Chain A
């Protein structure tokens, strides 16, 4: 399966990979100043700033609740992109990290009374370590076998948590009202968690950019194109894959801790919602896998579309049908997604938009 280039679905991104490996054609700015001088970096900061400033202006809580879902979609899609887009390994169970992070974070914040930020970070670290452990096992599998195993990870974690006493088994856990006290009451706590989620969103995009611009990222792209050849060229594929799998777990877990704390409750069927995991893939394919902006764009657009469909009385039952149809069309006719389409229209855009 990997004797051929492993993802022609990402044709445009493939074009960009070799151009990045030819030393001189990389814009000198991005070499010297690192990612700090990259336009996408600034784009991310401006975007995050807007996400904070607009709902804060006039204390618009309804808008905040819409935007927080957009931010979560971007976080999930961006980190999923590290696996699917960069490394060429489909992860059907990415939501596991988000849900587990939520569980660990909620447990630490409410049962153990940890500080929220500390609890979220601890959730991120512990879920990453767990992912490393899983990764060592299932990353021995390649291609489709790996993808199947990730469905298994989701099912297995779901059934484990449903039977695990400290996490409330299938009833889940609730955040007691006084847990919000350290942050100055529920009203302020919700705003603070919102800012933190936006920060995680910005970090996700910056992390994607930083990895894409690094040697590590080049190694991942090499694995995606031809794992056998990459190994021959001296890339330690096993370590690279384990690290990226674990890394792709960190920020979703932090976001999960924040979001479930904000929502006030968690149970296995919400935390490990298979459909959300799958929709993450739709987001990524829609925007353009392998690109930083594409993942974010796909995440944001898809989330808005989904909210629209879910609230529309006539279409709410069919949102999965529409999502599936969209995915099918993208896979069959526009494997590069929106960004791939942009690249084809304006090839120079590849220099600026990663």
Chain B
């Protein structure tokens, strides 16, 4: 249960990236899972090369995520902004195929892991695993930093302004293209960071990102498109749910449950989904 809660904070972090891009630019970023996987491998490569504290390596991974995100934005997303959603779905999905294809060619689909552990501690009957605690702490810190960025700094406020009303923001002198590129880059960096955190918890393959992508969709839909802390809370909820059901059913059923949750939430709480369409 508590492990579930701790992992949930990482789900929340992953979902924040998706939710930011979705909310600001109305693009559903299908490269999300692939970038999470890239984050895992980024951590693996840096860690095996440098052998320093894995959590310190989050900083270069976030930086690389920003650069990579900007690159993806200018090559494939910028041109489809304002076109119907089908185009951006397909273009981000094409990038996803390229990343997965290249990743499979380089690393094959065999599992890797990052050999780094933080000593845990025991309270009463329960042992807290160090890695889970540290990953959760890192996720919460990043979430708080993002929240501060969006609400307390000028570029953060510009992102929210563009999300609210792009035309109006442009009239106020905000260059929406720069803002969109920035938001996309941050979203990608968050995905990479969450992948890096996951890699300290479980073994992973280049295809592992897909499962986290699905979880991110569920979390995003649960939280609605809004504040990062909302996504964090919804991530915790999902992690808690997983922790609560796993003692009773086989792990292979979990995707079924998550998907069921996704559809039920969308169908039962369609607010914001049908709002534009029924006009």
Chain A residues with CB under 8 Å of chain B are 1-9, 84, 88, 90, 137-138, 140-145, 147-149, 151-153, 155-156, 158-160, 162-163, 227-228, 274, 278, 281-282, 285, 317-325, 327-328, 331-332, 335
Name the B residues within 8 Å of A159 (CB-CB).
252-256
Q: Are A142 and B87 in contact (CB under 8 A)?
A: no
A142–B275 CA distance with the chains assembled, in angstroms? 11
Residues on B with beta carbons closer than 8 Å to the beta carbon of A138: 263
Residues of chain A within 8 A (CB-CB) of B76 are 328, 332
Least CB separation from B102: chain A residue: A321
CB distance from B44 to the nearest CB of A (A): 19
Q: List A contacts of B101 (CB < 8 A).
A: 317-324
Return the contact of B273 from the options A88, A90, A145, A331 (Cβ within 8 A).
A145
* Docked-complex contact B273 and A320, CB < 8 angstroms: no
Contact A321 B84 (CB under 8 A): no
Question: Contacts A227-B277, A278-B97, A328-B91 given: A318-B86 contact, CB under 8 Å?
Answer: no
Cβ-based interface call for B278 (8 A): yes
CA distance A141 to B97 in the complex (A): 25
Q: Mark B65-108, 1 if CB is under 8 A from A, else 0.
A: 00000000000100110011111011101111110111011000
Give the distance to chain A from B279, nearest Cβ to Cβ, in Å: 6
Please tell me which one of the listed residues B87, B260, B270, B278 contacts residue A228 in the complex, with CB atoms under 8 A apart.
Answer: B278
Residue of A84, A137, A324 near B94 (CB, 8 A) is A324
Set B80, B254, B256, B276: member contacting A2, Cβ < 8 A = B276
Q: Say whether A8 contacts B98, CB under 8 Å.
A: no
CB within 8 Å for A324 and B214 given contacts A8-B83, A163-B253, A319-B101 = no
A149-B262, A228-B279, A324-B97 known; A8 and B105 CB under 8 Å? no
Interface centre among A143, A148, A163, A325 (most CB of B within 10 A): A148
A246 to B77, CA, bound (A): 32
Bound-state CA distance A151–B254 (Å) is 15
Selected contact of B84 from candidates A9, A274, A282, CB within 8 Å: A9
On whether the beta carbons of A156 and B260 are closer than 8 Å, the reply is yes
Cα distance A149–B267 when bound, in Å? 11
Q: Are A156 and B266 in contact (CB-based, < 8 A)? A: no
> What chain A residues lie within 8 Å of B80 (beta carbons)?
331-332
Do residues A141 and B95 form an inter-chain contact, with CB atoms below 8 A? no
A155 near B255 with CB under 8 A, answer yes
Inter-chain contact B102/A325, CB cutoff 8 Å? no
Least Cβ–Cβ distance between B267 and chain A, in angstroms: 5
Question: How far, in whole Å, are A327 and B100 apart by their CA atoms in the complex?
Answer: 14
CA distance A153 to B252 in the complex (A): 15
> CA of A3 to CA of B253 in the docked complex: distance in angstroms?
38
Determine whether B204 belongs to the interface, using a CB cutoff of 8 Å to chain A: no
Given A148-B217, A156-B260, A163-B253, answer yes or no on A7-B102 (Cβ-Cβ < 8 Å). Answer: no
Given A148-B262, A328-B76, A331-B94, CB of A320 within 8 Å of CB of B84 = no
Instruction: Give Cα A153–Cα B217 distance, bound, in whole angstroms.
Output: 14
From known contacts A8-B84, A144-B28, infer whether A327 and B90 are also in contact, taking CB-CB under 8 Å: yes
For A2, the chain B residues whose CB sits under 8 A away are 276-277
Q: Which residue of B lies closest to A231 (CB)?
A: B278
Which residue of the partner chain, among B87, B210, B214, B217, contacts A331 with CB atoms under 8 Å?
B87
Residues of B within 8 A of A328 (CB): 76, 91, 94-95, 98
Identify 8 new A-B residue pairs, CB closer than 8 A, beyond the known A2-B276, A159-B253, A321-B97.
A1-B276, A9-B86, A144-B89, A147-B28, A155-B256, A163-B253, A317-B104, A320-B98
User: Measured between C-beta atoms, what is the minimum distance from B213 to chain A in Å?
Assistant: 8
Closest 3 CB pairs of A and B: A320-B101, A324-B97, A152-B259
Which residues does chain A contribute within 8 Å of B28, judged by CB atoms? Answer: 144, 147-148
Inter-subunit contact A321/B105 (CB<8 Å): yes
A1-B85 contact in complex given A140-B270, A141-B266, A320-B101, C-beta closer than 8 Å = yes
* A162-B252, A323-B97 known; A140 vs B267 contact (CB < 8 Å): yes
Min CB gap B218→A, angstroms: 9
How many angstroms from the CA of A89 to the CA of B84 in the assembled complex?
Answer: 12
CB <8 Å contact, B105 and A318? yes
Chain A residue contacts of B256, Cβ below 8 A: 155-156, 159-160
**B126 an interface residue at 8 Å Cβ cutoff?**
no
Interface check B125, CB cutoff 8 A: no
- Nearest Cβ in chain A — how far from B249, in angstroms? 9
Q: How close is A320's CB to chain B, nearest CB, in angstroms?
A: 3
B49 interface hit (Cβ, 8 Å): no
Report chain B residues within 8 Å CB of A147: 28, 89
In angstroms, how far is the closest chain A Cβ from the Cβ of B27?
9
Q: Are A6 and B97 in contact (CB under 8 A)?
A: no
Min CB–CB distance A277 → chain B (angstroms):
11
Task: Flag if B267 contacts A90 (CB, 8 Å).
Answer: no
- How far, in Å, is A169 (CB) from chain B's closest CB? 9
Contact A163 B250, beta carbon cutoff 8 Å: yes
- Taking the closest CB of chain A, its distance from the CB of B246, in whole angstroms, is 14
